[in-house]
Structure 1
Amino acid sequence: MTTFNDREKSFEKKFEKDQELQFKVNARRNKLLGLWAAALMGKGGADAEAYAKDVVLADFESPGDSDVVAKLVKD
Structure 2
Amino acid sequence: MTMFDDRERAEEAKFARDQEMLFRITARRNRLVAQWAAKQMQLTPAETDAYAKAVVQADFEEAGDEDVIRKLVGDLTAAGVEADEPTVRRALEEQAVEARRQLMESR
Please tell me the TM-score bracket, short chain as reference.
over 0.9
1:13-56 CA-to-partner distances (Å, cap 9, x unmatched) read 00000000000000000000001101100102110010011001
SS at match of 2:60: coil
Instruction: Tell me the residue number matched to 1:71.
Output: 71
Amino acid across the alignment from 1:71: K
Structure-2-length-normalised TM-score? 0.69
Instruction: Tell me the residue number matched to 1:48.
Output: 48
Instruction: Tell me the residue number matched to 1:38.
Output: 38
1:45-70 CA-to-partner distances (Å, cap 9, x unmatched) read 11001001100110000000000000
SS at match of 1:43: coil
Query: What is the Cα deviation at residue 74 of structure 1?
Result: 1.0
CA–CA separation in structure 2 for the residues paired with 1:70 and 1:50? 18
Give the length in aligned residue pairs.
75
| Alignment pair present for 1:28 and 2:18 | no
CA–CA separation in structure 2 for the residues paired with 1:44 and 1:3? 57
CA–CA separation in structure 2 for the residues paired with 1:44 and 1:7? 51
Instruction: Tell me the residue number matched to 2:99.
Output: none
Moved over 2 A (4+): none
CA–CA separation in structure 2 for the residues paired with 1:32 and 1:26? 10
Structure-1-length-normalised TM-score? 0.97
